[in-house]
Amino acid sequence: MLFKLRLGLFIVGGLAIFVAAVFIIGKQQNYFDQMFRLSTTFKNVSGLEVGSNVRFTGINVGTVENIVIYDTSTVRVDMLIKENVQKYIKTDCIAMIGSSGIVGDRILSITQGSSAAPHVKDGEMIASKEPIETDTIISDLKDTVDKANKFVDKANTFVTGAEQIVNKVNNGHGTAAKLLNDPKMAQNINQTVINLKDATKTLDENMVAAKDSFLLRGAYRRQAKKEARARRIAEKQAAQALAEREKNQ
d(CA 66, CA 80): 9
d(CA 70, CA 219): 103
**Residue ranges of domains in the chain:** 34-131
Confidence at residue 162, expressed as pLDDT on a 0 to 100 scale: 67
Confidence at residue 131, expressed as pLDDT on a 0 to 100 scale: 81
Between the alpha carbon of residue 67 and those of residues 25, 79, 103, 185, the distances in Å are 21, 9, 22, 86
Confidence at residue 109, expressed as pLDDT on a 0 to 100 scale: 93
Mean pLDDT by 10 residues, the chain (249 residues): 64 70 57 82 89 91 91 91 92 90 81 92 92 65 75 73 65 58 63 69 62 56 72 70 61
pTM flag (> 0.75): no
Confidence at residue 41, expressed as pLDDT on a 0 to 100 scale: 94
Q: Strands, DSSP E only, in 35-133?
A: 35-42, 53-56, 59-71, 74-82, 94-99, 106-110, 124-125, 127-129
d(CA 70, CA 192): 88
Confidence at residue 36, expressed as pLDDT on a 0 to 100 scale: 93
Confidence at residue 236, expressed as pLDDT on a 0 to 100 scale: 72
- Sequence letter at residue 156: N
d(CA 26, CA 157): 65
Cα 90 from chain centre: 34
When computed from its CA atoms, the radius of gyration of the chain, rounded to whole angstroms, is 48
Q: How far apart are the first and last CA of the chain?
A: 144
